[in-house]
Each structure stands twice: as C-alpha cells, then as structure tokens.
Chains A and B, each alone.
Chain A
Amino acid sequence: NAGVMQNPRHLVRRRGQEARLRCSPMKGHSHVYWYRQLPEEGLKFMVYLQKENIIDESGMPKERFSAEFPKEGPSILRIQQVVRGDSAAYFCASSRDREQPQHFGDGTRLSIL
C-alpha cells in the first residue's frame, strides 16, 4: 500500500510567484489535512478537506492561500504571490475518517528567495 504521496519534495520560488503543492492520500482515504511546520516547531493545522468539500479552513490565512480536493486527482494547496514568510515545510495527512489516525506524507519544503 502506497502511503501519502506529496510532490514536489522541494520547491523554490521567488517572491511574488505562485506555489502549488500536491498531495495524493492513501488508498481508501477520503479525508485530507494540510499542516505547516516551521523549523524546530510542531505542526500547525491549516485546512481539512473531504472530497470536493472544505470542512475546516480555520488555520489557513485568509489571503493568498487556497486548497482543493477534487473528485479526481490529488489535493492541491496553492499559495499565490509568495513571500519570504511562507518558507516552511508543508505536510499533508489523510485518514479514513475523522476518528482514525492521520497518516502523513514526507512533506514539501518550500523556500522563497
């Protein structure tokens, strides 16, 4: 069974560009979560999606950030007009349902020049 797959593993963008991070959940998992981790810190929740629906986006900045989980294809976290402060590791997790453990991908490390 393939785990949660995230790509790219590393992404470098210049200030003002757009960053697109992709996440394919584990087979059979319809719940996807995105987290952000700064160096030496724990993960901070951003958004929770269930096929085609955003369930909770309380941790996501209101501007420049958006997420989707279409019926077909991976979940996408999109950051428009990136700034230096967006540099972080972004992790995706998936689960069968809300009560089950979340399984994490290896993350995308975003660096803003």
Chain B
Amino acid sequence: SQQGEEDPQALSIQEGENATMNCSYKTSINNLQWYRQNSGRGLVHLILIRSNEREKHSGRLRVTLDTSKKSSSLLITASRAADTASYFCATSAGNMLTFGGGTRLMVKP
C-alpha cells in the first residue's frame, strides 16, 4: 500500500469556507511535502515541513505534522474557487518522494 494516504478522497465546500485534508504515512521520514495538481497539469509545490517541525504557515495554508501519529494535515483558509484541484502529500525518506492518492477539492463559487 502507499506510504501516504490522504483523507478524504474528495471534498466539496463553498467559497470562503476552510478546507482540511489529512495525510497518514507508515515509515520514518525526513520531511513531508504538499503539492497541488490542476487537471491536466503537473504538480505545484506548496509547502515542505521537516520532521523536526510541528507546524508551518504559508499565506492561507497551514500544515501540521505529528510524527508520533505519522500524520499531517493541510488547512486552506478562506477558500476560493481557484483552489479547486487535487492535493497530494508526499513523504521524503531517501531518494524519492512517495505520494498518496490525493484529495480532490472542489470549491463552489
């Protein structure tokens, strides 16, 4: 099974609401990263949190990391229709990133 598993698989909210996505993983990591993918496009790097960090902010994004529970969450505040995309967590523990299956977020205007 995959190293990273996102939850929920799909999320639909109204513009202005907050969106929370969770990610669980299985093995020790160096860092955990969140990416966004718009349909038909490549992945855009959003934020990286290292294994010794617990929380990180970037604009409307807030990421938490709990290494004891092997889980991370991504919070998007005051969502916009343009935030509609798939969001992936990826763990780094060597030469590669290991991706989860993603959360498909739809923000309705």
Q: Do A and B form a real pair?
A: yes
- Residue positions of A touching B, CB distance < 8 A: 4, 6, 33, 35, 40-45, 48, 55-56, 58-59, 91, 93, 98-99, 101-107
Can you pick out 15 interface pairs between chain A and chain B where the beta carbons lie within 8 Å of each other?
A42-B4, A42-B100, A42-B101, A42-B102, A43-B88, A45-B97, A56-B94, A56-B96, A91-B42, A99-B31, A101-B45, A101-B48, A104-B43, A104-B45, A106-B42
B99 at the interface (CB under 8 A from A): yes
A101-B48, A102-B45, A104-B43 known; A42+B95 contact, CB < 8 A: no
B88 contacts A48, C-beta separation under 8 Å: no
Q: Does B30 contact A (CB under 8 A)?
A: yes
Interface residue ranges, B against A (CB under 8 Å): 2, 4, 30-31, 33, 35, 40-45, 48, 88, 90, 94-102
Please, how many angstroms separate the alpha-carbon atoms of A48 and B97 in the complex?
Answer: 10
Q: Taking each of B2, B4, B43, B98, which has the highest tally of chain A beta carbons within 10 Å of its own beta carbon? A: B43
Tell me whether B42 and A42 are in contact (CB under 8 A).
no
The answer for the CA separation of A101 and B35 in the assembled complex, in Å, is 10
Name the residue on B nearest A59 (C-beta): B96
Cβ–Cβ contact B99 & A99, under 8 A: no
